[in-house]
Amino acid sequence: MRPLVQTLRALLAHWRRHPVQLAAWVVGLMLATALWSGVQALNTQARESYDRAAGLFAGAAQPMLVAREGETLTDDVFATLRQAGWPVSPLLEGRVRVGEQALTLVGIDPVTLPAEAAAASAVDQTGFELAAFLTRPGLTLAGPDTLQQLGVEPGAELRLASGALLPPLAVASTVPPGTLLVDVGLAQQLLQRPSELSRLLVADDPRWQTQALPEDLAERLYWQHGQSEDDLTRLTDSFHLNLTALGLLAFVVGLFIVNGATGLAFEQRSSLLRTLRACGVSGRQVVLALLFEVLLLALVAGLLGLLLGYGLAALLLPDVAASLQGLYGARVAGALQLEPRWWLAGLGMSLCGALLAAVGSLWQAARLPVLGLARREAWRAHQQRGVMLLALLGGGLWLLALGLFMAGSGLVVAFAGLAALLLGAALCLPGLLSVAVGIGQRLARGPVAEWFWAEARQQVSALSLALMALLLALAANIGVGSMVDSFRLTFTGWLDQRLAAEVYMNAEDAEQAEQMVEWLVGQPEIEAILPTGHLISRYADEPLELNGIRVHDTYRDHWPVQQQLADGWDRVGTGQAAMISEQMARRFDLAPGDSLTLGLAATPWLLQVAGIYADYGNPRAQMVVDLDALMARAEGPLRQGFSLRLHPDAAPQLVERARRDLGLEGTAVIDQASVRNFSEQVFERTFVATGALNTLTLGVAGVALLTSLLTLTQSRLPQLAPLWAQGLSRRHLAWLEWLRTLCLAGFTILLAVPLGLLLAWCLVAIINVEAFGWRLPLYLFPEQWLRLIGLAALTTVLATAWPLWRLGRQSPATWSKVFAHEQ
């Protein structure tokens, strides 16, 4: 044990003498951990919210019985089924408003609730208070985040916009955000739907799912497997995968820093290691001591990184939550709540990353010859030979990427291809730089210039990791930036087409829809009323939005149709054809003229694909069909709405009047400008997190370059001192050094542009299609590249200036000491 401790102390002494190197190491791993764990925190938080939403009434598989179109589910049905032995539990759901907040009120019966439903544990959490839940005044259970959002304390009694008073609030952490849980009887009163139920949950027991319903009920009810919330996880997967990919990229870039610092520290300590070995410390003990050292540093850096990551996640969470709500209607708790698992996983990732980054050095240490010559540049020379090997490996990765893109399918494969592409490019970088330097060397005239290029070649490998990081970060920035801007341009144009009507109205239920019609026909300024009906159904076991319309010139003239059969809209009007979204066409490989069958009711509905339209930003497949045909076939009630055509100037007044006369709120009536505004906001917010991560990645690359150079200047002295001795001034030498670094970095930056474009193309043509099901046209934004190149150049100049300025300022005594020390 003693030799190990002594060895560790001797090794650690190195960091005391090189605090900047230590800082580089720690900062590198800290940033890597922070970005990775920050992204994971965001993902975990969002997923946890979905799980709560989906799990409130058991997992994704929770089967339910709901009423068919025109039927109402009532308590009697519940009683009848229970008395026939069916393990059903009643549920009533409705929307309520508390002040400005729209919330979901869910009524349950805790006594029959399937044990697997999270709501059961929500009730359990209140323990003794079950009696209070079941009797007056009752209890309102809500998640802690909902209370926070409402700004109230447990025990508070909320007043609904309808005037009704909710029972006192109690906290139950498994209730999803934005949801209030009360007893079903109370919910019937609060929602003014006496004896009414929304659905019957059926215990997750396969025996009952194959059982036939009692005859008289079979006509009134139908099975619904899984709510739309259950699809959230799948729908939002692509969003989270995007975030994860960016987080991973940042992590890898961070690891480059650690790897560089570890390698350098090893190289600088190689003579120390030899001395230790000569003193009788075994090779195993040396490696063990090095391993301890790495783990110790990784622990410190990992903990710091986790704190930073937590801060980052807390900062980005509101935007991520807003994106998810806007894109998918998914409610994500606005306050960060993390489990110990997150901290452990983050720390584990940090330790593994550090080990991965240090494995090369440890390997070297294990094979270090005791009596070998103390050749400082030994490992670097080895690496020089490795440039060729790296380039070969990089080429191999490119082939792999090509193979994955051509043969594979699925988002994970696409991302793997992208990773292979980026990593391959990074590995080829030293080789490409060597070629470039070789050209420079051939063109060089005069001893100083020749020396300049020869040294540059040697620096390629020393700086290669930092330059790789720069290449990756910059390429990612260009790629993602191009993708986002292309998307923005396309999206705005598409919104113009899609939002053809001046005012949109949405009815809560059939009764309100009737009120709306009555009111609308009395408004003289309205030129056309286009009724719509909306329904979430399923096609090939995936959620499908079914939009019913009555064909009108507005659709013919404005709908963003990409390709269609002749008289496409007229065909839709017959009820035997449909326009389908691009997502749907891609997902199910459908083209105009193809047929598809919807299993809406007992009788299948055969439809011809009349055309395909763009539907950006919608994760679900969507279809436009004839409204009357849809109404005739739908099992459940349609969500009805109206698109109104009128003079755009008259729209705001109409909206105002509708709100007043019909008592409508929020998005129940909205004019085109507001929809557009809202959609654009959602769009912008979606990419806020992406943008922030991107910028941070570039920042990390900057740090990588800075730390590499900081540590490098130390070791450069022996190379420079002879030239100084031959008459070149220190300042001159420092300038040459700076120029050389800038040459290498500049070349890297130039390479990053085509790589970034390639990345953008992959994102638009492969990742987007896989993730969202739509393909975007790729637009080029040269001014954006220039801005990024400028930023990267500035980062480089700043990162290189200080260490080289320090080099120039070092005293002649330091320079001359080089000759005194044994080389």
Partner 1 sequence: MNNRIWLSVCLLLLAACSDGPDRTSAPAQQGFAGLGLAADAFATVERGGELAFPQDHAAHPEFRIEWWYVTANLEDREGRQYGMQWTLFRQALTPDGGLGHWQDGQVWMAHVGLTAAAEHWHAERFGRSGGGQAGVTTEPDYRVWLDDWSLQSVTAPGSPERGDPLEHIRVQAGTDNLAFDLVLQTDQPLVLHGEDGFSLKSERGQASWYYSQPFYQVNGTLVLGDGAERNVHGTGWLDREWSSQPLAPEQTGWDWFSLQLPDNERLMLFRLREQDNPDSYFAGTHIRSDGSTRPLAPQEIRMQPLETTRVAGRQVPTVWHLEVPVINLDIEARPLNPNAWMDTSIPYWEGPIEFSGSHSGHGYLEMTGY
Angle at 115 between CA 111 and CA 118, to 5 degrees: 100
Q: Look up residue 153 and give its two tokens.
A: 């304390």
The rounded distance, in Å, linking the Cα atoms of 119 and 693 is: 36
Calpha distance 418→402 (Å, rounded): 9
Q: Is 251 in the site for partner 1 (CB under 8 A)?
A: no
Neighbours of 32 (CB within 10 A): 31
C-alpha 423/C-alpha 412 separation (Å) is 16
Q: Which is nearer to partner 1, 89 or 146 (CB)?
A: 89
C-alpha 721/C-alpha 819 separation (Å) is 8
Is 771:483 a contact under the CB 8 Å cutoff?
A: no
229 within 8 A of 177, measured Cβ to Cβ = no
Q: How far is Cα 808 from Cα 803, in angstroms, rounded to an integer?
A: 9
Closest distance of CB 71 from partner 1, Å: 18
Q: What is the residue type of 256?
A: F
Comparison of 135 and 562: residue with beta carbon closer to partner 1: 135
Question: 184 or 462: whose CB is closer to partner 1?
Answer: 184
Q: Residue 288, interface with partner 1 (CB under 8 A)?
A: no
Residue with Cβ nearer partner 1 (111 or 366): 111
Smallest distance from partner 1 to CB 172, Å: 13
Q: Which residues of 335-358 are buried (b: 16+ CB within 10 A; e: fewer)?
A: ebebeeebbebbbebbbebbeebb
Sign, CA dihedral 35-37-40-41, equals negative
Site string for partner 1, 415-444 (x = CB under 8 A): ------------------------------
Contact mark string toward partner 1, 105..134, x via CB under 8 A: ----xxxxxxx----x--xx--xxxxxx-x
* Distance in Å, CB of 706 to partner 1, minimum: 58
**Contact pick of 145, 183, 230, 455 for partner 1 (by CB under 8 A):** 183
CA-to-CA distance for 504 and 788, rounded, in angstroms? Answer: 41
Cα distance between residue 552 and residue 662, in whole Å: 26
**Is 248 a binder of partner 1 (CB under 8 A)?**
no
Nearer to partner 1, 76 or 157 (CB): 76
Closest to partner 1 by CB, 123 vs 807, is 123
Three-class SS state of 404: helix
Query: Cβ of residue 184: shortest distance to partner 1, in angstroms?
Result: 6
- Kindly state whether residue 23 participates in binding partner 1, applying the rule CB under 8 A: no
Binding mask 207-246 for partner 1 (x = CB under 8 A): ----------------------------------------
Contact 549, 487 (CB under 8 A): no
In angstroms, give the least distance from the CB of 314 to partner 1: 35
Q: Is 194 in the site for partner 1 (CB under 8 A)?
A: yes
CB of 85 to partner 1, least distance (A): 4
Cα separations (Å) of 498 from 303, 693, 808? 49, 31, 63
Among 184, 301, 456, 627, binds partner 1 (CB under 8 A): 184
Q: Which is nearer to partner 1, 186 or 427 (CB)?
A: 186
Alpha helices for 444-567 (secondary structure H): 447-498, 510-521, 553-558
Number of residues that bind partner 1 (CB under 8 A): 38
Give min distance, CB of 206 to partner 1, in A.
13
Beta strand 577-581 with 605-613: parallel, antiparallel or unpaired? Answer: parallel
CB of 73 to partner 1, least distance (A): 12
Of residues 45 through 104, those in contact with partner 1 by CB under 8 A are: 75-76, 78-79, 82-85, 87, 90
Q: Is 632 in the site for partner 1 (CB under 8 A)?
A: no
The reply on whether position 135 binds partner 1 by CB under 8 A is yes
Strand partners, 366: none
Question: How buried is residue 460: exposed, middle or buried, by Cβ count under 10 Å (0-12/13-18/19+)?
Answer: buried
Q: Which residues bind partner 1 (CB under 8 A)?
A: 75-76, 78-79, 82-85, 87, 90, 109-115, 120, 123-124, 127-132, 134-136, 138, 183-186, 188-189, 194-195
